[in-house]
Structure 1
């Protein structure tokens, strides 16, 4: 099994509506995001997936979140936790890859690749990961 990972970042504000503590106040983070793709076959060039393509998609998703108040996005239901942000980014990568002709959900095609997980770091020591429970073996 092979795995590749790319990184992007964004800065955004948020608060947690249903939280009792300092995070219930508006504050910001410099988020770091990792996207993990895995598969069991390489293409003719010896690559699982072109880093440039995956980085471009991930950076595009992160650019839409950059310098925003995440609470303004209905998808987060006023509670943009790192866990919800990770799932949002995962889903957005899948959506964009489908639009470009590759399906990272099913691992079908020439190299059998799929998006395995998205990690969102609020700080260097605090990470949330979204990974679907129906990953291929």
Structure 2
């Protein structure tokens, strides 16, 4: 086995509010999120394959993450669909804002779980999602590891 891990980094801007929270994050606010996606697999050994030597083409990984996460969450305001923030969300949508209603509290921890599920579903069969790191600020982040979730 010649497993190799490769990582691609992404960034997006998003706003959110944590309903029921007892701190500042109960207010609508935003973050410049940074997402690191690490996959693991064996480099392609078929010399006739145009992707010879690659675990996965970085461009292919970029396409998956952009479609599943970045293009969806970038410049969106994320609310839990089961909170009174729905009224605010509806008003923002009426005014042309990009609003996402999710079925979880939009913390970094819950977002990284959502992202893992979406990315795993799109990876080729021979490639495994190894880990995700979602940075909310320079000093605060949530991490997901496949080895912790088997």
The normalised TM-score by structure 2 is: 0.73
Residue 86 of structure 1 is matched in structure 2 by: 112
Structure 1 runs of 4+ off > 3 angstroms?
A: none
Residue 63 of structure 1 is matched in structure 2 by: 71
Q: Alpha-carbon deviation of 1:65?
A: 0.8
Q: Quick one: distance in 2 between partners of 1:5 and 1:74?
A: 27
Structure with the greater alpha carbon radius of gyration: 2
Is 2:8 the counterpart of 1:6? yes
Among 38, 43, 59, which residue is 1:52 paired with?
A: 59
Residue 73 of structure 1 is matched in structure 2 by: 101
Q: Quick one: distance in 2 between partners of 1:31 and 1:115?
A: 20
Determine if contact 1:9/1:59 at 8 Å carries over to the other structure.
no
Q: Quick one: distance in 1 between partners of 2:31 and 2:108?
A: 10
Q: Alpha-carbon deviation of 1:5?
A: 0.4
Runs of 5+ unmatched residues, structure 2: 46-51, 80-99
Residue 18 of structure 2 is matched in structure 1 by: 16
Q: Quick one: distance in 2 between partners of 1:120 and 1:67?
A: 16
Aligned residues: 119
RMSD between aligned residues:
1.5
Runs of 5+ unmatched residues, structure 1: 104-111
Residue 43 of structure 2 is matched in structure 1 by: 42
Determine if contact 1:18/1:24 at 8 Å carries over to the other structure.
yes
